[in-house]
Amino acid sequence: MLKLQAAIGVFLISGLLRLHAAPPVQGVDGVLPEERVRVGALLWDAHEFTVGQFREVVRASGLRTRAEQEGGGFIYSGGWQQKLGWTWQAPFGRLADDLEPAVHVTFDEAQAACRQVGARLPTDAEWTSAAYLEQRPHPPKGFTSGQLYRYPSGFSAGSSHCLQGCGTYTGAAPPGALDRGVGHVRIGTTPAGVNGLYDMGGNVWEWVDSGEGDRRVTRGASWWYGPERQLQSDRETKPRETRVAYIGFRCVREASASPSSPNAVIPQK
C-alpha cells in the first residue's frame, strides 16, 4: 500500500467532511480546491486523479501503462490514431504539469491506481448521485440541498471546461497538437460544482466501475464535446483497454476509513 505523508487538517463543516493536504494548490479565483469531500457514505477525491498522484503510484508499485508499453495512447482525428510518446506523463506529446489529470490509462490501470492508495473507482450509480444531486446540508451560495441539477456544475454548464458553450479556459495541449479543442485543464482551474466536486462535467471522461463484459462506463464527457454530453442521461461504454487523451478517473473510499490514516489524503504537488 502506498504510504504518502502529508500535513492534514480535518474540518466538519455543515455535515460535509473536508480534508486538506499540504502544500496547497491555488485554484480558480484564489480558492483552494478541496482534497476530499464526503458525499453520503463515501469520501470522494474532489478532483480528478492527477499526473503527480499517478507518478507516486508508479514509484511505489512499478506500474507501467499499456500506452507506455506500446509507444503511446490514442486520439480521434477522422478515426483513432496512435500518438507516439503520448502517455500519462506527456498527454499531448510534451511533459505534463503535475496538476493535470492523468489520462491515457485503461480502466484496469485506473482501478489499480485507486487501490494502491486504499481506494477504488466509483460505480455508475455512485458517480451519478454525487454529480447531480446536491447532498450537502448547507451548501454555498448557488447550490440548494436536495436539488437535482441538470449539469454537474449546476443549472448551467457555463463554468465547466468543454469544446464550446462552457467557460473560456486555456487547455494544456500545445499549439498544433490537436485539430479539435484545446485539451484538458489542470485541477482547480474551474470552480467546484455539485457537492463541492470539480470537473465532474467536462475536462476528461472518468472511468467508473460499471459495465458488462469487457466494456466499462465512462461519465462526464470531456473537453472534446459540448455541454449536451454532460447530462445525467449521457453515458458511454468503452473497451476497458481504451487508452486515450480524453479519459481519466477519480477515486472514492468508504467514509468510515480513518482520516488520520497515512493513506487518507494524497498530497498535492
- SS3 annotation, the chain: CCCCCCCEEEEEECCEEEEEECCCCCCHHHCCCCCEEEECCEEEECCCCEHHHHHHHHHHHCCCCHHHHCCCCEEECCCEEECCCCCCCCCCCCCCCCCCECCCCCHHHHHHHHHHCCCECCCHHHHHHHHHECCCCCCCCCCCCCCECCECCECCCCCCECCCCCCCCCCCCCCCCCCCCCCCCCCCCCCCCHHHCCCCCECCEEECCCCCCCEEEEECCCCCCCHHHHCCCCCEEEECCCCECCEECCCEEECCCCCCCCCCCCCCC
Where exactly are the structural domains of the chain?
8-254
pTM of the model: 0.84
Amino acid at 144: T
Grid cell for residue 250 = 477519480
The pLDDT tens digits of the residues spanning 170-204 come to 999 999 999 999 999 999 999 999 999 999 999 99
Taking only the tens of pLDDT, the chain with its 269 residues reads 443 333 222 222 233 344 333 333 444 444 445 589 999 999 999 999 999 999 999 999 999 999 999 999 999 999 999 999 999 999 999 999 999 999 999 999 999 999 999 999 999 999 999 999 999 999 999 999 999 999 999 999 999 999 999 999 999 999 999 999 999 999 999 999 999 999 999 999 999 999 999 999 999 999 999 999 999 999 999 999 999 999 999 999 999 754 433 333 333 33
Phi, psi values for residue 129, rounded to 5°: -60, -45
Architecture of domain 8-254: Alpha-Beta Complex (3.90)
Q: How many CB atoms lie within 10 A of CB 111?
A: 20
User: What count of other Cβ atoms lies within 10 Å of the Cβ of residue 213?
Assistant: 8
Task: State which amino acid sits at residue 265.
Answer: V
- Contact in structure between 207 and 216 (CB atoms under 8 Å): yes
Longest CA span, the chain: 49
- How far apart are alpha carbons 26 and 207 in whole angstroms? 26
What are 118's strand-pairing partners? none
Length of the chain: 269
